[in-house]
Amino acid sequence: MLKIAHSPLFCHPLPANHRFPMAKYQQIPERLISQGVICHDNLFHPILASEAEILSTHTAKYWHELKTLTLAAKDARKIGLPMSAELIKRERYIAHGTYECALYAKNYGISLSTSGGTHHAFAGHGEGFCILNDICIASNLLIHRKQAERILIIDLDVHQGNGNAAIMADNPKVFVFSMHGKKNYPFIKPPSDLDIELDDGTDDTTYLHQLSHTLPTIIDSFCPDMIFYQAGVDVLATDALGKLSLSMAGCERRDEIVLRTAHQHGIPVVVVMGGGYSPNLGDIITAHCQTFLLAKQIWQY
């Protein structure tokens, strides 16, 4: 059974010129259903992450400011989304959805989220459209509850996962691997366990060569029993913020390398969506949907 976390969507009016494509969260499940990739039975609605679960990763001060909507204006500006009680609630659903995906992945091999990948959220602040760090919350819960022992985060969003790197810096049970644009945001990049920095304009051949040669080595040496894959599609050449030059087929091949490697090693994998800022929303949706289709094909659901 393919289980897909679909967090409730709330109305968040964004300025017309805002770069954050909220519409994709509605349209991706619709496209997947209309094309027969999934049916309604594949979708599950996560529960809210509890305060204790959030505090496994975030500071009490930051969480208090979020829940009381008292974040300083400059801190809210860093996040880049209009703060509201509904937005915070949605982040709590997303975070717990990523954790629930991990439990499904242990049973079924793979589970995906129609959101998530908020890798720029630090323990004590948010930035870059990220408020709560879903992968880190899920990882900490899995380890504290003895549901996983060694977790590999594969972060292929074009932006380095600075929040993941900082939160997991001293955690030997979590290996953070990030491949990202060298000259792109964030401009201060706390070191991950392994960072591969890519020049502007990196194409399919260079990108896929790097990934296919690096990933098996990490898995063989770290021996993870859970993988989180942040499959941001802002690597596309069409992306407004990405600066790389991957084609749609290259992006699909990237996903295939990650998913087939996890499948061949028998390691449960959770896929979260991450970023995507192509001006044509259809490019973003196509790229994300091919990740779901690959999952279905490889695990033969």
Q: Which residues of this chain interact with Zn ion, rule CB under 5 A?
A: 157, 159, 232, 234, 275
**Comparison of 163 and 232: residue with beta carbon closer to Zn ion:** 232
**Comparison of 225 and 252: residue with beta carbon closer to Zn ion:** 252
- At closest approach, how far in Å is the CB of 166 from Zn ion? 16
CA 39 to chain centre: 22
- At closest approach, how far in Å is the CB of 127 from Zn ion? 12
| Cβ atoms of 57 and 167 closer than 8 Å | yes
Distance of alpha carbon 161 from alpha carbon 247, whole angstroms: 22
Distance of alpha carbon 272 from alpha carbon 105, whole angstroms: 12
**Comparison of 190 and 232: residue with beta carbon closer to Zn ion:** 232
- ∠ CA 231-235-241, nearest 5°, is 115
Distance of alpha carbon 23 from alpha carbon 14, whole angstroms: 11
**CB count in 10 Å sphere of residue 107:** 10
- At closest approach, how far in Å is the CB of 57 from Zn ion? 20
Query: Which tokens go with 152?
Result: 């590999």
Residue closest to Zn ion when measured from CB atoms: 275
Query: Which tokens go with 282?
Result: 């259809």
**Comparison of 7 and 118: residue with beta carbon closer to Zn ion:** 118
| Cβ atoms of 9 and 115 closer than 8 Å | no
**Comparison of 234 and 283: residue with beta carbon closer to Zn ion:** 234
**Comparison of 116 and 275: residue with beta carbon closer to Zn ion:** 275
Distance of alpha carbon 204 from alpha carbon 245, whole angstroms: 7
- At closest approach, how far in Å is the CB of 58 from Zn ion? 21
- At closest approach, how far in Å is the CB of 158 from Zn ion? 5
**Comparison of 97 and 232: residue with beta carbon closer to Zn ion:** 232
Q: Is 294 helix (H, G, I), strand (E, B) or coil?
A: helix
**Comparison of 42 and 192: residue with beta carbon closer to Zn ion:** 192
C-alpha count within 13 angstroms, C-beta hemisphere, residue 189: 23
Q: Is 258 helix (H, G, I), strand (E, B) or coil?
A: helix
Q: Hey, what amino acid is at 84?
A: S
- At closest approach, how far in Å is the CB of 222 from Zn ion? 24
Work out whether the CA dihedral 234, 100, 75, 88 comes out positive or negative.
positive
- At closest approach, how far in Å is the CB of 247 from Zn ion? 18
- At closest approach, how far in Å is the CB of 52 from Zn ion? 29
| Cβ atoms of 21 and 129 closer than 8 Å | no
Q: Is 71 helix (H, G, I), strand (E, B) or coil?
A: coil
